[in-house]
């Protein structure tokens, strides 16, 4: 931000007035607050009524276990806030500003700032787990925004606690757009005496982006619920039905329910978003019936199938004058272990749970999956969940390393090791990743001679730089990934057997998108939110027709291809609703799912080979177009053509 400035004279006078008021307060005298802004004055008075000590140097802090549970509860909010921070980083990078993410209770869930500010912020009681509600921290932007449910600024001397009186803060609340539930607060704090009038606008914009992201994810869930709902309608041809979402809010109702409601003179009762249930289905139906109009009671509840916990369902209403008792089975709610990986299908859920179990180990991990299915996302999640989370995460694409430079890139080199080497030598990726995680993507592409050094580094945690003889100890966990069938490469002597067995101590196979079609719409909505934030062309969402098309397409390039397709549609379509005619020309005529690609028991290599053949045929042998559709580079396609001994069809 370029608009940072010191306070003008009139504001300096205002500050001196508040400084005197605070000094009086600290001395036990009545403060003079006549000049204070209304929201500041009222907040100070609330703090005085609570008996808060303005000179205290500590705010309440919750324990690690409680914080972990709270962060899990607000996982989606945190993910959306992380994306907002990624957009704010460039703006705030060279400033003394930080962004805090606060729960509705006032507990700080996360703090985003440059590394140089992190320790300083912690000394000022600004870090995850600290309670900056007004009850604990008095007047401050985050706590006061929560109390007032509106965006506020609180400048240095306006803070109630002495430890906060060097801050300039601006905060904006984040709401659930469906029912106006307060989800938390985003706060932009400057840790010095400079003031930026844009800070409030930045906080409000970030809050709006988060609201949009969360709304889009909820919309995706609603569309999935609607698709399931239309499938169960024939089972209840004469019953009044209400569809509710995971939070117990009305999504829709059938004509019978609406007609009954209208006949009872309560035609406005079935509005979308109206809460009928709590976030969990009741053990009995009394709680639900207490909230329904007097003309009806719930006879049964059919829960929508879900991989984790209650995601909504259909309320089946009694006919007038009838009363039936139906037990509603309790649905356990299991938190998503890897919320940053979008998707809730059973197949993906299983892999997420496996990843969570192995994350704490120091053993190598081998990730198997087709191109574009999200192997690096899983690698980063394994790092985040591991004891090495505070260490570096270093990613290397082995497929881009030439035979000549692969060893020096991974192991580093000494001065003068070869022509063109840096005078001071260079660290290799193993040393860069010391204390953290090294992700080796396309590990099957490594030259055989480099595989020997990799094996030693894995077994002994020792490397020797190119051109040197000094052994250097490293502390690195290796996560490798491949879309190749390494066992076949071992048989063909293209990959060392000892390295393969060392890498495959722990293996995760990531399912392709066509095997978890129920995730497609959730991913599409997630990507469209990201694209709106990245390009600023406004929110766009898929039509029902496009949603069905996306869910039934094979996606040979997997998640990467899906995102690229949506990016093209987002940029080339003016309408807020994307439809099938907006698809790229090469996709509009593409076939429905092929039996070849969905056959069970097919290996990754066989599936990949079939996908390459299909795309080459569809593009008349044009390798550039085929590579683009597959979501891989042209050089990668050439290597795969050679590996599978394929000739380009003409």
Cα separation values, 451 from 403, 455, 517, 544, 615, Å: 11, 6, 37, 50, 33
Topology, domain 513-643 = Helicase, Ruva Protein; domain 3 (1.10.8)
346-509 falls under which CATH superfamily?
Answer: P-loop containing nucleotide triphosphate hydrolases (3.40.50.300)
Query: What pLDDT digit, counting tens, does each position of 513-544 carry?
Result: 999 988 898 888 888 888 887 787 777 888 87
Its pTM surpasses 0.85? no
Q: Backbone phi, then psi, for 348, in 5-degree steps?
A: -70, -35
Q: Residue 467 and residue 454: Cα distance in Å, rounded?
A: 16
Contacts of the segment 66-70: beta carbons below 8 A, 24+ positions apart: 66/129, 67/107, 67/109, 67/128, 67/129, 70/103, 70/105, 70/107, 70/109
Query: What pLDDT digit, counting tens, does each position of 45-77 carry?
Result: 999 999 999 999 899 999 988 998 899 889 889
Query: Residue 7 pLDDT > 80, yes or no?
Result: no
Beta-sheet pairing, 365-368 with 477-482: parallel
Q: Residue 113 and residue 115: Cα distance in Å, rounded?
A: 6
- 210-214, 524-528, 596-600: least confident range: 596-600
Give the pLDDT confidence score for residue 607 in this predicted structure. 53
Strand partners, 439: 395, 479
CA 351 to chain centre: 17
Structure-token pair, residue 308: 């984790």
- 85-99, 104-118, 131-145, 401-415: least confident range: 85-99
- Secondary-structure breakdown of the chain: helix, strand, coil percentages, each rounded to the nearest 5: 45, 15, 40
- 219-223, 465-469, 482-486: least confident range: 219-223
Give the pLDDT confidence score for residue 146 in this predicted structure. 97
Give the pLDDT confidence score for residue 602 in this predicted structure. 35
- pLDDT band per the 50, 70, 90 thresholds, residue 282: low
Give the pLDDT confidence score for residue 221 in this predicted structure. 77
Query: Residue 325 pLDDT > 60, yes or no?
Result: no
- 231-235, 407-411, 590-594: least confident range: 590-594
Query: Residue 510 pLDDT > 90, yes or no?
Result: yes
Query: How many residues are listed for the chain in this entry?
Result: 650
Topology, domain 10-209 = Beta-Lactamase (3.30.450)
Query: Residue 130 pLDDT > 90, yes or no?
Result: yes
How far the first Cα of the chain sits from its last, in Å, is 56
Query: What pLDDT digit, counting tens, does each position of 237-269 carry?
Result: 888 888 888 888 888 888 888 887 777 666 666
Strand partners, 84: none
Query: What pLDDT digit, counting tens, does each position of 351-370 carry?
Result: 999 999 999 999 999 999 99
- pLDDT band per the 50, 70, 90 thresholds, residue 9: very low
Strands (E) across 405-560 are located at: 412-413, 426-427, 437-441, 462-464, 471-473, 477-482, 506-509, 541-542
Give the pLDDT confidence score for residue 649 in this predicted structure. 42
């Amino acid at each position: 931000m370029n608009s940072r400035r010191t306070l003008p004279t009139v504001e300096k006078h205002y500050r001196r007035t508040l400084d005197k008021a605070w000094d009086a307060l600290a001395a036990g005298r009545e403060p003079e607050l006549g000049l204070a802004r209304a929201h500041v004055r009222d907040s100070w008075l609330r703090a005085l009524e609570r008996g808060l000590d303005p000179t205290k140097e500590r705010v309440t802090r919750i324990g690690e276990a409680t914080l972990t549970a709270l962060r899990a509860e607000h996982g989606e909010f945190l993910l959306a806030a992380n994306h907002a921070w990624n957009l704010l980083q460039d703006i705030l990078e060279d400033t003394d500003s930080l962004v805090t993410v606060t729960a509705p209770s006032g507990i700080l869930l996360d703090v985003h700032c440059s590394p140089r500010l992190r320790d300083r912020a912690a000394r000022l009681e600004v870090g995850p787990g600290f309670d900056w509600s007004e009850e604990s921290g008095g007047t401050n932007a985050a706590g006061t925004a929560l109390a007032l449910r509106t965006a506020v600024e609180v400048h240095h001397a306006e803070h109630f606690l002495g430890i906060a009186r060097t801050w300039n803060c601006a905060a904006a609340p984040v709401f659930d757009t469906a029912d106006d539930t307060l989800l938390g607060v985003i706060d932009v704090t400057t840790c010095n005496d400079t003031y930026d009038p844009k800070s409030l606008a930045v906080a409000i914009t970030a809050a709006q982006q988060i609201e949009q992201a969360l709304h889009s994810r909820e919309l995706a869930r609603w569309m999935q619920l609607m698709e399931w709902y239309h499938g169960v309608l024939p089972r209840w041809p004469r019953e009044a039905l209400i569809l509710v979402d995971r939070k117990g809010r009305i999504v829709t109702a059938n004509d019978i329910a609406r007609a009954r409601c209208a006949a009872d003179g309560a035609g406005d009762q079935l509005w979308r978003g109206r809460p009928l249930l709590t976030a969990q289905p009741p053990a009995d139906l009394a709680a639900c019936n207490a909230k329904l109009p007097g003309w009806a009671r719930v006879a049964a509840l059919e829960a929508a199938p879900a991989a984790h916990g209650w995601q909504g369902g259909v309320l089946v209403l009694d006919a007038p004058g009838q009363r039936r008792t139906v037990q509603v089975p309790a649905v356990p709610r299991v938190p998503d272990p890897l919320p940053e990986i979008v998707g809730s299908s059973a197949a993906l859920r299983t892999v997420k749970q496996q990843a969570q179990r192995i994350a704490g180990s120091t053993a190598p991990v081998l990730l198997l999956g087709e191109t574009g299915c999200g192997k690096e996302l899983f690698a980063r999640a394994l790092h985040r969940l591991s004891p090495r989370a505070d260490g570096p995460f270093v990613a290397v694409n082995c497929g881009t390393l030439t035979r000549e430079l692969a060893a020096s890139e991974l192991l580093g080199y000494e001065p003068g090791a070869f022509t063109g080497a840096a005078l001071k030598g260079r660290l290799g990726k193993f040393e860069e990743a010391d204390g953290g995680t090294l992700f080796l993507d396309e590990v099957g592409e490594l030259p055989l001679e480099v595989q020997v050094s990799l094996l030693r580094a894995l077994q002994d945690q020792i490397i020797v730089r190119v051109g040197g003889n000094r052994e250097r100890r490293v502390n690195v966990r290796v996560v490798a990934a491949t879309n190749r069938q390494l066992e076949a490469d071992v048989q063909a002597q293209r990959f060392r057997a000892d390295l393969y067995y060392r890498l495959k101590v722990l293996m995760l196979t990531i399912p392709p998108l066509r095997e978890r079609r129920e995730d497609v719409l959730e991913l599409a909505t997630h990507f469209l939110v990201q694209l709106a934030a990245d390009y600023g062309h406004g929110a766009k969402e898929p039509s029902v027709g496009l949603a069905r098309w996306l869910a039934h397409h094979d996606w040979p390039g997997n998640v990467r291809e899906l995102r690229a397709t949506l990016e093209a549609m987002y940029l080339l379509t003016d309408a807020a609703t994307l439809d099938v005619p907006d698809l790229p020309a090469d996709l509009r005529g593409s076939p429905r799912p092929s039996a070849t690609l969905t056959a069970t028991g097919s290996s990754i290599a066989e599936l990949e080979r079939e996908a390459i053949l299909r795309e080459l045929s569809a593009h008349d042998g044009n390798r550039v177009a085929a590579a683009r559709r597959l979501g891989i580079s042209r050089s990668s396609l050439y290597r795969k053509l050679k590996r599978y001994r394929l000739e380009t069809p003409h």
